[in-house]
Every structure is written in structure tokens, then in C-alpha cells.
Amino acid sequence: MRGQEDRTREVQDREGEYHILIVDDDAGIRETLQETLLDIGRIEVTCVGNGEAGFSLIRKRQFDLIFIDVRLPGMDGLELLRLIKHHDPTLIVVMITGFPSVDSAIQTMKDGAADFITKPFRFQQIEHVVQKQLFCRPRARKGSTWGGMAGSQDRTLSAGR
């Protein structure tokens, strides 16, 4: 099996790529989510472990989709979401959490999140979110017509927190 850096580099060389940022303090979740996104294809993934690092990257480069854990050390996910939406209201943000509640889901949507998913999540849930939030949106870059997802599987991803 090739290393994570090799797979990211391979995706970066493709034309029509999408750039996704994952902000989660759990290294296992970051790695599993990154592998899942790379399996979908046409995607470059960048991962960071806290909100400050995530916002620093967002100010420096363009991302098409951002996954943020609600509970982060230091700046929490909700604060990061608000900063992102103030910086660029058009950025697509999906919140993820291992501690779901109706109140937190409602608050994230009010604050501008495009979607809210809970851990443990399944591969198909991530595929669905990427298709709905990235590939099927009119503002998506090249190749916005979705032709199917490679490697569709019914598997549950690491639960994390």
C-alpha cells in the first residue's frame, strides 16, 4: 500500500481536482476521512488538527469543501465556522461530531454549515455529502456532473470521539 503522501500527490497532479480541508483533532479520524475522500477521486485533501491551523490555511488558499469537528481544542468548531463564514460566506462547510444533539445541529446550520454528520459515519454518508455539497453544486469547478463514485462500499468509518 502506498503512503498517504503518495496518494495525495497523485491526486494533486490530476486536472479538475477539488480541494478539501479536514479540521479534526483526532488523527485517526483525519486519516480515515482522508483515505475515504481520496477513494472517491478527483480530490486533494489537506488535514489539520486544530481550528487555528485550519483558519490560517483558509486565509492562504482556496478550498472547495471543509469538514470541521465540532469539538476542537482551543478554538472550537463552531467558532471556526463563524470565522470562516465571516471570511468567505460562500465556503461550503460540513460539521462532524461524535456528540450529536438537535441543538448543536440547529446551531451549526444557523451559523452557515451546509451539512452536519455524526460519528461514526459510513463511507456512503461521506460520498453522499461530497456529491451533494461539491459535485452537484453549480459553483463547483470543472466536472460538476457526477458520473458515479468509485469504490462505493457499505463500511463504517472509525468512530473517533
Interval 57-113: pLDDT, tens: 999 999 999 999 999 999 999 999 999 999 999 999 999 999 888 888 899 999 999
Provide the CA 6 distance to its chain's centre, in angstroms: 20
Of the candidates 119, 117, 118, 110, which has an alpha carbon nearest to the alpha carbon of residue 132?
Answer: 117
Neighbours of 13 (CB within 10 A): 8
Domains along the chain with CATH numbers: 4-135 (3.40.50.2300)
Does residue 24 contact residue 94 with C-beta atoms inside 8 Å?
Answer: no
Interval 100-146: pLDDT, tens: 888 888 999 999 999 999 998 899 999 999 999 987 776 433 333 33
Query: How much is the pTM?
Result: 0.77
Beta-carbon contacts of residue 147 (< 8 Å; ≥ 6 apart): none
